[in-house]
């Protein structure tokens, strides 16, 4: 593979060459910074690029590797993180004008762990305002590298765009209602939303504390597994991060799905879902069956109530996160986030308790379903590769926003882990994805299933022409 392909190579693969001294961490970092300089003026995926810091980190990594002190699969590899993750010495605006001058004095736990693993932090990736649905009116949204008229996803839009365009080898995103999965699907990359509590949230701005998940976005399941292995684990600064040991997610990848039972509710996954999204899921299940999986028909618990409840619950939790600046500085907020906060502030204590009870009942029903299957297959969203024009009409069309969230936010409400995998293309040329959903803390099975699917298919190796 020639040097022209360097930017699209896999994170683990490039890491192996750097750690074997076949590639220089400094030269790889320089090449990535040059590509960002060349392309990101149009793509707008980065909120902040830290060239000097990245080159210093790369030089240190190179010295450590030369001395035989290899720290693991990410050592010497350039990556980037969503703007809401604190990086000491880099601004952390959270997609908001209110925070544009905030400079953290410490790293988020996930960032500290990436640095400890020897990863090179190129910079901060652009996101929607407060990690909710829309970009702040004063911020240029990241573009989809496949087609600037296609949606780039929300809220980890910069992470999706930069990773797909080869402006980093992997990135961190966050997911509260679908924000690892939407940009992964939209930009044709792989995204892993871990179980809630698998990854510390310390040093990351909140949208909604009990719904927020931090996870890796990369170009393959193996690369996501390598990143998750670094960022996961208990953290004294975040007592909601569980004490469970962190497995090696890239070990024991058999390349098949023998013995794996995959559940699918074909009525739920096809009703109101467009042809391209249905086809990608059907094709993926055929591949899974060929790889040895058992495909089992299931009845998914009715997700309508928890999908409806997601908005007021997210609003309530976001109102707590923003209480210092909202409504006191309401005029500095964009309409989307302000609307969510107002919705949260309108809820009563009894409204909230009813949401909590419905959420717990749904969690229990899904937990019971996982007694009969290992994975559940669902589309990434009900309509494939939406255009910016279509997404602009979300406010006027309730079915659109329902179709967007119906396969994502139920799994934020339950905290279930999911992996989003590229599985085809829509008639308009945009990437289309599907998800596997797993039992709590069974990310290893998701990585293994994703790796097996990607060994048998090449969708994840397709790249936009830039």
Closest CA to 423 of 294, 286, 225, 258: 286
Contact criterion met (CB below 8 Å) for 224 and 218: yes
Per 3-state DSSP, the chain is made up of helix, strand and coil in percentages (nearest 5) of 45, 15, 45
- Active site annotation includes 161: no
Say how far apart CA 214 and CA 85 lie, in whole Å: 9
Task: Determine how many CB atoms are found less than 10 A away from the CB of residue 63.
Answer: 12
Residue from 156, 179, 220, 416 carrying the catalytic annotation: 179
Please enumerate in sequence order all residues whose Cβ is within 8 A of that of 280, keeping only pairs 6 or more positions apart, or say none. 379, 384, 423, 424, 432, 433, 434
Judged by DSSP in three states, 272 sits in: coil
Compute the C-alpha angle 403/451/40, nearest 5°: 65
- Active site annotation includes 156: no
- Active site annotation includes 82: yes
DSSP string, 147-182: -TTB---SSSHHHHHHHHTTSSSEEEEEESSSTTHH
Please give, one letter per residue, the 3-state secondary structure of 350-395: HHHHHHHHHHHHHHHHHHHHCCCCCEEEEECCCCCCCEHHHHHCHH
Say how far apart CA 293 and CA 285 lie, in whole Å: 9
Say how far apart CA 456 and CA 466 lie, in whole Å: 26
**Facing residues of 170 across strands?**
218
Contact criterion met (CB below 8 Å) for 123 and 80: yes
Please enumerate in sequence order all residues whose Cβ is within 8 A of that of 146, keeping only pairs 6 or more positions apart, or say none. 164, 187, 188, 429, 430, 431, 464
DSSP-derived letter for residue 337 is: H
Closest CA to 155 of 107, 193, 103: 193
Residue from 44, 82, 124, 143 carrying the catalytic annotation: 82
Say how far apart CA 459 and CA 461 lie, in whole Å: 5
Residue from 24, 50, 155, 416 carrying the catalytic annotation: 155
**Facing residues of 204 across strands?**
85
Q: Which residues carry out catalysis?
A: 82, 155, 179
């Amino acid at each position: 593979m020639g040097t022209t392909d360097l930017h699209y190579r896999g994170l683990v693969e490039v890491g192996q060459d750097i750690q074997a001294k076949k590639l220089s961490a400094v030269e790889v970092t320089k090449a990535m910074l040059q590509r960002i300089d060349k392309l990101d003026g149009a793509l707008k995926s980065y909120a902040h690029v830290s060239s000097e810091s990245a080159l210093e980190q790369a030089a240190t990594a190179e010295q450590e590797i030369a001395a035989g002190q290899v720290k693991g699969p990410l050592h010497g590899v350039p990556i980037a993180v969503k703007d809401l993750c604190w990086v000491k010495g880099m601004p952390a605006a959270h997609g908001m004008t209110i925070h544009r001058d905030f400079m953290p004095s410490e790293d988020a736990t996930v960032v500290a762990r990436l640095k400890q693993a020897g990863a090179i932090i190129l910079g901060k990736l652009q996101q929607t305002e407060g990690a909710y649905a829309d970009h702040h009116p004063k911020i240029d949204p990241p573009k989809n590298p496949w087609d600037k008229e296609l949606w780039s996803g929300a809220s980890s839009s910069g992470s999706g765009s930069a990773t797909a365009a080869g402006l980093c080898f992997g990135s961190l995103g966050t997911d509260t209602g679908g924000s690892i999965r939407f940009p992964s699907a939209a930009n044709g990359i792989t995204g892993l939303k871990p179980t809630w509590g698998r990854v510390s949230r310390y040093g990351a701005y909140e949208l909604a504390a009990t719904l927020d998940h931090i996870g890796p976005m990369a170009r393959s399941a193996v690369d996501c597994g390598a990143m998750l292995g670094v960022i996961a684990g208990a953290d004294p600064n975040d007592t909601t991060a569980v004490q469970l040991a962190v497995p090696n997610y890239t070990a024991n990848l058999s390349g098949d799905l023998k013995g794996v039972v995959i559940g699918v509710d074909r009525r739920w996954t096809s009703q109101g879902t467009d042809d391209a999204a249905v086809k990608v899921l059907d094709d993926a299940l055929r591949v899974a069956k060929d790889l040895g999986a058992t495909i089992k028909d299931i009845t998914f618990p009715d997700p309508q109530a928890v999908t409806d409840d997601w908005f007021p619950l997210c609003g309530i939790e976001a109102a707590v996160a923003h209480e210092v600046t909202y409504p006191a500085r309401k005029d500095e907020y964009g309409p989307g986030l302000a609307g969510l906060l107002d919705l949260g502030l309108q809820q009563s204590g009894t409204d909230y308790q009813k949401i909590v009870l419905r959420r717990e009942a749904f969690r229990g029903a899904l937990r019971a379903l996982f007694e009969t299957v290992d994975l559940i297959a669902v589309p990434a969203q009900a309509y494939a590769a939406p255009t910016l024009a279509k997404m602009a009409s979300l406010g006027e069309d309730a079915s659109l926003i329902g179709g967007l969230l119906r396969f994502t936010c139920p799994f934020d409400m339950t905290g279930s882990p999911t992996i989003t995998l590229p599985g085809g293309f829509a008639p308009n040329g945009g990437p289309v994805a599907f998800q596997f959903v797993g039992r709590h803390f069974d990310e290893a099975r998701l990585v293994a299933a994703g790796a097996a699917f990607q060994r048998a298919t090449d969708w994840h190796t397709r790249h936009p022409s830039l």
